[in-house]
Amino acid sequence: MKIRNLKRNMGMATIELLVAFAILLINLTGVILLVNQGQSVALDNETNTEALALAQGQIEKSQADAQFDFNLVNPSTSTEDIYTKNIEVGQVDLFTKKVTSVITWLVGGKNFTTTLTTLVTNPDAVDGGDTCSSVLAGDWTNPRKTEYEFGADILNDNSSGFPITSIQTFDHKMYVTVNNTHGNNPGTFFILNISDPSIEPSVITDFDNNPAVGEGLNSVAVDGSNYAYVANAHGSNFNTCPEGPSCAQLQVIDISNSANPVLVRNFKIPGVTGNAGQGIGTVVFYKNSIVYLGLANDSIGAEFYTIDVSNPALPIILDSYEIGNGVNDILVRNGYAYVASPNNLELQIFGVSDPTDITLVGNFDAPGGGGNNGNGKSLYAVGNKIYFGRTLLTGNEFYILDNTNPETSLPYMGFKNIQNSGSNTSVNGIIVRNNLTMLVTNKEFQILETSDPSNITQYTNPSTLPPGTGGGLQGTATDCEGNYIFIGSQSSNNKGYISVITGNE
């Protein structure tokens, strides 16, 4: 009896022991799971914190880039450790971009994302600055081009004439100048409505800067929506002629009422001859109440001027500099003026932070010798790069220059020989948008891939400008607003054309 009870008690003890072990195992498993979950939560917190810091870093960089150059704020993708970093950029309006910083990563088979968004603005562009969007939209490997004959299509005037010399687009308007030395067209300065660039531009107004002569204008710059500053193409003896429409290299036009522009000032630059086209206005650039005016080569006077137009009706010459040749293009940024001319030093750089004291501080002379070595033609700048176009019979017509230190001879980062169907040409206009550089040559619109300046390549096939290869044409002007490129060209019979180019949808 005692033995039976003993066996029964031993069996119960064994069962109780097994139950106890089972409970212990369950508890231990719970502890292990709790510890693992705690480690997972800690890891998630750590990666979330890292991702948030990366997202914030991208936002801060975009804000810094926007302050330095609005055109540097563009979409991008990169990786860092386990994270994929994306910058998404959308153009809200001509002066504002929406920047979204997106960080994604994978942990334990799960996808995680952190997103931050901000707006960046371009206050420098509000007073007549660049309204071109660096954010490319649509298919630019096959851009869509629409062509208009300026006289017949836009102006409803079938007469020969209206050879376009200059275009500036700003805030849904296009300002166009023409110079017809062989006729007397009713207008030399035009304001067009381009609020919807997908349709034909419509004329808001036409204006003749000097009805007494056939010559017109060579260049236009606007200070926003108040005044246009135009370079007069008519030559006179500027030493003796009285200031007026036929004796003024610079003219100021009130455009505050775009339907009724008013000429408020003819401004003569004294001390130049004007003989045989010398000393006439060729290029005008506006920034911060200063007009930077370039003249044709003059035998006795300077060709580059800084002019105070804080009172547009009373311009005041602040300083001048003798280039030694005519001025083809002017670009001003960060206290420096870049002047392209047909000199051996075809790009000269001037300190103009004090516009009363123009100081030569640097230059670029393209490699190579011979009589065709010096003919600077066109300029564009993004960040610390200068994009420089030349007119040349042999050699390289396009250079990308390192502008980190303007007060030096700028080193080149890359170059390319630009041709039209196998023939050397001239780079008459440049637009840079993110990784693409768009060129207007004598006969073509070309797009280059320039993200790596040391390896410049053709992005897509060149497009012939109107009226076609046999028209004796010349691409003369270009500007950009939003996602649209506007190009002016002219044929041998003085007809002007406007091409509107955008990414294909």
Return the domain boundaries, the chain.
2-125, 131-504
pLDDT of residue 3: 42
Alpha-carbon span 163 to 343, nearest angstrom: 26
Q: Are 415 and 427 in contact (CB under 8 A)?
A: no
Fold type of domain 131-504: Methylamine Dehydrogenase; Chain H (2.130.10)
| Mean pLDDT in consecutive groups of 10 residues from the start of the chain, 505 residues | 43 46 40 38 74 96 96 96 96 96 92 96 91 97 96 87 93 94 77 97 95 91 96 90 94 97 96 80 97 92 96 98 95 97 92 98 80 80 97 87 93 93 89 98 95 97 81 82 96 89 94
Alpha-carbon dihedral angle through residues 178, 180, 184, 187, given to the nearest 10 degrees: 0
Closest Cα to residue 497, out of 470, 478, 483, 482? 478
- State the Rg of the chain over Cα: 32
Q: H helices within 131-213, ranges in order?
A: none
Q: Are 326 and 282 in contact (CB under 8 A)?
A: yes
Q: Are 282 and 305 in contact (CB under 8 A)?
A: no
